[in-house]
Chains A and B, each alone.
Chain A
């Protein structure tokens, strides 16, 4: 979470910095929990596409808070392609969620048990080519679902980002009988056509539920807060543009133009 553009510096952006979350998205998971109580009884949790780690932070904090005195410490595994700064109480795996080996690695940390909860807040870098971004997000979601079928126990919960601010919450995982978890990508299909292809009984829209207390903070609203700008809690570890930024700081671009 950098010092991003003005419109994104909303109340949650600032609250996250004040409360020590690595990203404002921490509040989204907290609000989903308020609505669905997803953390109850969770012993083993997996955070897919975890970097920079705000959801792992939430998992670590909440699971420890609600843990009964006699229960063992919760186990949290965070997976991401990118390196992530370490977090206390979170096991980190740098790996690809499309690989079976990654699934095996996760399960090995649970001593062969499956997870109670899998969360995924992953989003690809948006290019701005809207059709392609939509496709890649769908691929990522599908990959997350695929690996989840390998690591989630029946009855477990799966929470994933669909696009932007929308999430899907799947509870009480019940795989079809004889279903064998697979990593083969069936390539999620999105197609457009004239008219609305979802009509009649097919037009089933998963009910939308607004999470978070409506009396809580409003991300669109402007609040009187301190003017002081807080530094990012956890700057990106390996941003692709880091060399370019270094050059810029060394006045390279002024020299060449």
Chain B
């Protein structure tokens, strides 16, 4: 968790692991289990570095090898590690890094808060002597030649100095202030100069000298820093030791000049939760907090602040790259340019400190204000006197044609080109029609500006005077909006013009087809939009002839321009087009501000994929859709002759079913899947990014960039890398603004807006090719809060073949957590480190996710449930990534789409009821039907039918037996055999009162399914009362937290089937209970039950003592009656193996059996999760 950096390489802790990363590329160089059972709290490097140079001398100045000595500690343990970094002399390949454990200090007396290497120049010779003396006997000690003493600060405010050669304590001192510390930090490199700053649980920072004792032999406090209102969680010195930063429970950072007699601290408020650490740099302070942000502040105290200098804006940046709770660790590289943070979410991120000044624009002086030249330079005032000019000249509108060139429309109706670098002004056009009002847009290429007037005229103007201005009377009334859409031919540009009364045309501008120096500019289509659809944004896809439009009323429509034969002809050239797809309320009733299209790059097995559509909205989010062809219509092509496609559509059931009105306009308000003609639109992903507005979604170098306004600022957010790239104080959202960026690092970018009738410009062009690193994330993050459930996707034999992607299936699992995120991960074994690769992360649940279940039906489904009675069904599509396909030897990376498929209705009468657990099975003969048994915190068991085709939940039945919160549920399907006609379905439930109940719901399920499938007009009837359990028993004193079933050997006779199940439960009472239940199915009759203890088995358990235990259960006594036998004294649990689990509060576990095609080599993959996740592998 706490790191230490050397140039370009970077060391960090993750639990007990010590890892090294190479910063320029983000690669992991080494990973070592360095501290066994303890978390590494800090890595402290000795000062001296043993360097080896090329050619054996330092003449070449090329280092080929570096050795450094590290002290790492956690809890009460210190280990000394040697880190060897080997550099490639030619710098072609990345360095190699290895860690060797040199020695371990014996267990120490108390919790360690800090360690420090001590040096003493006068003793160097002695140390070397010791080293050489010992080198024969102890292989390791010869390496400790630069420092032999380690100072250690403990939680009870005492310090010990350890000789690391002899591994013994040579000095010990207790501070006179007997106080529990929450933090401590040394300053000084020698024993005599060493001081300790102790951050106490009683809100103080105590400074004391290690060698200065009072008459009782205790360390004397020489300074107290008083002012914090809560425990002090972190203390840091600056480089010269004269300034201290302390952070606290009170959410403040206080910076103290300790050279002052009564230091008055600089107090910084801003973090929304407890602050854990704060680094002091010359100009900046960098802090990390429980609020999962890292903030950068002005360091006013180091720059001799005076009170007049106080600015409101102390916080320069708030980096939000971690999720959930807590950033625990913070480090900076030696040149103080790159900041690294480690979160409670297991993620490690890098941040560029220079970006703080580059990417946060607060000052007016960074903005260029454009002032119009005097009017007589571009308009002859007397000449146009027949129409009076407006009273005042000012900027009306403007567009950005280049990074430094804009075109301004003035109130007098003039169009002026302005290069603000050269300060050149060029008049492009004057028109009285454009007085007082001008709607304008520029083409992306910057060659053309298009203006719309208040009287419905459209002007097409060449910025570089390539052609004569085109004027076209297109509309009756005012032009609202103009859009430019490029085609693959740079000389063909589409213009969409939108005027009052939904008068919308799409026109085609052909620049290489000029008559009298005027390009061809003709109406292509007239577009008909639904009522209450005020066109606000659009994107055109010429290859597919599709136009996607968003409205102010949150609607989304798609026009199919190929589809033209059935439309009425207005005149010989104008075709009226109606949308084929209309989706309402796509952005929570807020405006759809932009549409972006992206072609599916991967040649997936679904060749019918057309493209992905992204929309942004004023709800602060963006949505990703997928547009596909109906499978029946074949491959969609660019043919202008659409007749074939239409034909096939008219024959398809889909169209008949979905076409609802005479205009063949399909309108659907609720479903995410809409089909119109041959197209299917599906919502794939939705995310909320800001409390403000998102005004634009776009792709820069394939990274998803969102532009928006929040409070008084304009921001640029990189959603691919999850961080804010640029933030400009512009005063708030503006009606007219433009942004242009050349590269994903925003090295060349311009942002311009109109404020108070003036154009303001922020523009930059930097040559910094990068910040010293390419990858913002060094390590993928996990959930930011406790993970509640983990479920492997198991490729069981019954899984249909099309889900089986490879010989060795990729290992995929789903997790749900307190942070309400549903996530999917792929586990990728790697030579250095087995990695988790985040496939997707979905925020849909409003609160904790309690359980997730996979189910194979016609499609692969995933059910997630949790608080507020949320039960959601997801359709998961797994696809092998295109570029990985060829490397068949390695496990392929997969692409995953997780589509929200359906939500279960809320039925409990009690508010805030939670769904505690679910158990899902699909009925074998009818794959589209899934049975979901769910247990609720209102103590009711509810059983649902999910119809995959209709995407609906139906409540089959419910029952209340436990009268307590039900915690767990599992199901067992007993396959119909011989004379049995139907599968038996048993449910096992457990509750907070320690009871286990067994239910037979077969009859209810089958009779419900019969009426559901046979009744043509199925009327949803009153749910069944599922009655009482067939059997129940008391397994624990209190809550049963886990429940596992295992099928034992079974006997089948001609008349009845016997099946035995072992039920193993784990409780809040720290106990594990195992019981064997035997069920006998008689012919055509319901089951009865009896218990017999017959066999032994192996179980795995995990609990909050952080151990994964493997048990063997032996049942010795064979009792043959129908009674329960709880007296199993002769049966016993035998602990076979116990592994330490690094995950805190483990609360869920799942097991995957892996078969590499060789039956003998079955392995078990075990995932345990709580705060973090850990995977184990057991060979069977």
Q: Which residue of the partner chain, among A9, A139, A192, contacts B1140 with CB atoms under 8 Å?
A: A192
Q: Which residue of the partner chain, among A6, A208, A219, A254, contacts B1070 with CB atoms under 8 Å?
A: A208
- Are the C-beta atoms of A208 and B711 separated by less than 8 Å? no
- Are the C-beta atoms of A254 and B711 separated by less than 8 Å? yes
- Are the C-beta atoms of B269 and A240 separated by less than 8 Å? no
Kindly list chain A residues whose C-beta atoms are within 8 Å of the C-beta of B368: none
A239-254 residues with Cβ-Cβ distance < 8 A to B are 240-244, 247, 252-254
A252 to B269, alpha carbons, bound, how many Å? Answer: 9
Query: A166-200, CB under 8 A of B: which get 1 and which 0?
Result: 00000000000000000001010001111110010
Kindly list chain A residues whose C-beta atoms are within 8 Å of the C-beta of B867: 6-7
A218-B964, A220-B1039 known; A210 vs B1068 contact (CB < 8 Å): yes
- Are the C-beta atoms of A218 and B230 separated by less than 8 Å? no
- Which stretch in A20-28, A44-52, A115-123, A130-138 binds the other chain? A130-138
Shortest A38–chain B CB gap in Å is 19
A192-B38, A205-B1070 known; A224 vs B993 contact (CB < 8 Å): no
A130-B1144, A193-B37 known; A220 vs B992 contact (CB < 8 Å): yes
A7-B867, A222-B937 known; A194 vs B37 contact (CB < 8 Å): yes
- Are the C-beta atoms of B251 and A241 separated by less than 8 Å? yes
- Are the C-beta atoms of A187 and B249 separated by less than 8 Å? no
- Are the C-beta atoms of B938 and A221 separated by less than 8 Å? yes
Within 8 Å of chain A (Cβ to Cβ): is B231?
yes
A135 to B113, alpha carbons, bound, how many Å? Answer: 13
How many A-B residue pairs have C-beta atoms within 8 angstroms? Tell me.
149
Within 8 Å of chain A (Cβ to Cβ): is B1139?
yes
Within 8 Å of chain B (Cβ to Cβ): is A69?
no
- Are the C-beta atoms of B229 and A243 separated by less than 8 Å? yes
A129-B328, A220-B1039, A243-B229 known; A196 vs B964 contact (CB < 8 Å): no
Kindly list chain A residues whose C-beta atoms are within 8 Å of the C-beta of B36: 193-194
Write the chain A residue with the least CB distance to B712: A257
- Are the C-beta atoms of B230 and A208 separated by less than 8 Å? no
Kindly list chain B residues whose C-beta atoms are within 8 Å of the C-beta of A222: 908, 910-914, 936-938, 965
Within 8 Å of chain B (Cβ to Cβ): is A68?
no
- Are the C-beta atoms of A199 and B1135 separated by less than 8 Å? yes
Within 8 Å of chain B (Cβ to Cβ): is A256?
yes
A139 to B269, alpha carbons, bound, how many Å? Answer: 32
Q: Which residue of the partner chain, among A139, A187, A241, A255, contacts B312 with CB atoms under 8 Å?
A: A255
Kindly list chain A residues whose C-beta atoms are within 8 Å of the C-beta of B248: 240
Q: Which residue of the partner chain, among B313, B1140, B1144, contacts A193 with CB atoms under 8 Å?
A: B1140
Within 8 Å of chain A (Cβ to Cβ): is B988?
no
Shortest A208–chain B CB gap in Å is 5
A208 to B37, alpha carbons, bound, how many Å? Answer: 27
Write the chain B residue with the least CB distance to A130: B1144
- Are the C-beta atoms of B848 and A253 separated by less than 8 Å? no
Kindly list chain A residues whose C-beta atoms are within 8 Å of the C-beta of B1071: 208
Q: Which residue of the partner chain, among A128, A135, A247, contacts B269 with CB atoms under 8 Å?
A: A247
B836-890 residues with Cβ-Cβ distance < 8 A to A are 847-848, 867
Shortest A61–chain B CB gap in Å is 26
Within 8 Å of chain B (Cβ to Cβ): is A214?
yes
Write the chain A residue with the least CB distance to B912: A222
Count of residues in A whose CB is under 8 Å from the partner chain: 51
Within 8 Å of chain B (Cβ to Cβ): is A231?
no
A31 to B325, alpha carbons, bound, how many Å? Answer: 33
- Are the C-beta atoms of A128 and B326 separated by less than 8 Å? yes
Shortest B253–chain A CB gap in Å is 12
SS of B interface (majority): loop
Kindly list chain B residues whose C-beta atoms are within 8 Å of the C-beta of A125: 231, 249
- Are the C-beta atoms of A256 and B314 separated by less than 8 Å? yes
- Which stretch in B103-111, B144-152, B755-763 binds the other chain? B103-111
A224 to B255, alpha carbons, bound, how many Å? Answer: 51
A220 to B848, alpha carbons, bound, how many Å? Answer: 14
A60-82 residues with Cβ-Cβ distance < 8 A to B are 81
A196-B1109, A240-B250, A256-B315 known; A221 vs B909 contact (CB < 8 Å): no
Within 8 Å of chain B (Cβ to Cβ): is A209?
yes
A209 to B1038, alpha carbons, bound, how many Å? Answer: 9
Query: B263-279, CB under 8 A of A: which get 1 and which 0?
Result: 00000011010100000
- Are the C-beta atoms of A253 and B270 separated by less than 8 Å? yes
Kindly list chain B residues whose C-beta atoms are within 8 Å of the C-beta of A192: 37-38, 1106, 1140
Write the chain B residue with the least CB distance to A223: B910
A166 to B1014, alpha carbons, bound, how many Å? Answer: 55
- Are the C-beta atoms of A194 and B111 separated by less than 8 Å? no
A127 to B248, alpha carbons, bound, how many Å? Answer: 11
A209-B1037, A221-B964, A256-B270 known; A194 vs B1140 contact (CB < 8 Å): yes
- Are the C-beta atoms of A218 and B993 separated by less than 8 Å? yes
Shortest A240–chain B CB gap in Å is 3
A199-B1135, A240-B248 known; A131 vs B39 contact (CB < 8 Å): yes
Within 8 Å of chain A (Cβ to Cβ): is B967?
yes
Kindly list chain A residues whose C-beta atoms are within 8 Å of the C-beta of B325: 128
Within 8 Å of chain A (Cβ to Cβ): is B1138?
yes
A21 to B1138, alpha carbons, bound, how many Å? Answer: 43
Kindly list chain A residues whose C-beta atoms are within 8 Å of the C-beta of B229: 238, 240-243
Q: Which residue of the partner chain, among B110, B1037, B1171, contacts A208 with CB atoms under 8 Å?
A: B1037
Query: B1015-1042, CB under 8 A of A: which get 1 and which 0?
Result: 0000000000000000000000111000
A218 to B1135, alpha carbons, bound, how many Å? Answer: 33
Query: B588-608, CB under 8 A of A: which get 1 and which 0?
Result: 000000000000000000000
- Are the C-beta atoms of B937 and A256 separated by less than 8 Å? no
Kindly list chain B residues whose C-beta atoms are within 8 Å of the C-beta of A238: 229
Q: Which residue of the partner chain, among B230, B913, B1107, contacts A240 with CB atoms under 8 Å?
A: B230
Kindly list chain A residues whose C-beta atoms are within 8 Å of the C-beta of B847: 6-7
Kindly list chain A residues whose C-beta atoms are within 8 Å of the C-beta of B937: 220-222
Query: B1136-1165, CB under 8 A of A: which get 1 and which 0?
Result: 001110001100000000000000000000
Query: A192-236, CB under 8 A of B: which get 1 and which 0?
Result: 111110010000010011100010001111111001000000000
Kindly list chain A residues whose C-beta atoms are within 8 Å of the C-beta of B314: 256
- Are the C-beta atoms of B75 and A240 separated by less than 8 Å? no
Shortest B36–chain A CB gap in Å is 8
Within 8 Å of chain A (Cβ to Cβ): is B156?
yes
Kindly list chain B residues whose C-beta atoms are within 8 Å of the C-beta of A127: 233, 274
Kindly list chain B residues whose C-beta atoms are within 8 Å of the C-beta of A129: 39, 328
A238 to B180, alpha carbons, bound, how many Å? Answer: 19
A205 to B1069, alpha carbons, bound, how many Å? Answer: 11
- Are the C-beta atoms of B75 and A131 separated by less than 8 Å? yes
A7-B867, A218-B964, A257-B315 known; A244 vs B1145 contact (CB < 8 Å): no
Within 8 Å of chain A (Cβ to Cβ): is B252?
yes
A122 to B938, alpha carbons, bound, how many Å? Answer: 32
Kindly list chain A residues whose C-beta atoms are within 8 Å of the C-beta of B315: 256-257
- Are the C-beta atoms of B939 and A6 separated by less than 8 Å? no
Within 8 Å of chain A (Cβ to Cβ): is B678?
no
Kindly list chain A residues whose C-beta atoms are within 8 Å of the C-beta of B1139: 194
A141 to B591, alpha carbons, bound, how many Å? Answer: 58
Within 8 Å of chain A (Cβ to Cβ): is B456?
no
Within 8 Å of chain A (Cβ to Cβ): is B318?
yes
Sample of 24 A–B contacts (CB below 8 Å): A6-B912, A124-B201, A129-B39, A131-B74, A139-B180, A191-B37, A192-B1140, A193-B37, A194-B37, A208-B1070, A218-B965, A218-B993, A220-B967, A220-B1039, A222-B913, A222-B938, A240-B231, A241-B229, A243-B229, A243-B250, A244-B269, A255-B312, A256-B315, A257-B711
Having A192-B38, A253-B270, one finds 10 other A-B pairs with CB under 8 Å, namely A6-B867, A128-B325, A210-B1069, A222-B913, A222-B914, A224-B911, A238-B229, A241-B249, A254-B711, A256-B312
* B interface residues (Cβ-Cβ under 8 A, vs A): 36-39, 74-75, 107, 109-111, 155-156, 178, 180, 201-203, 228-231, 233, 248-252, 269-270, 272, 274, 290, 312-315, 318, 325-326, 328, 344, 711, 847-848, 867, 908-914, 916, 936-939, 964-965, 967, 992-994, 1037-1039, 1068-1071, 1106-1107, 1109, 1135, 1138-1140, 1144-1145, 1171
- Sorted from nearest, which 10 A-B pairs have the closest CB atoms? A240-B230, A220-B965, A130-B1144, A192-B37, A221-B965, A210-B1038, A210-B1037, A244-B251, A240-B249, A222-B937
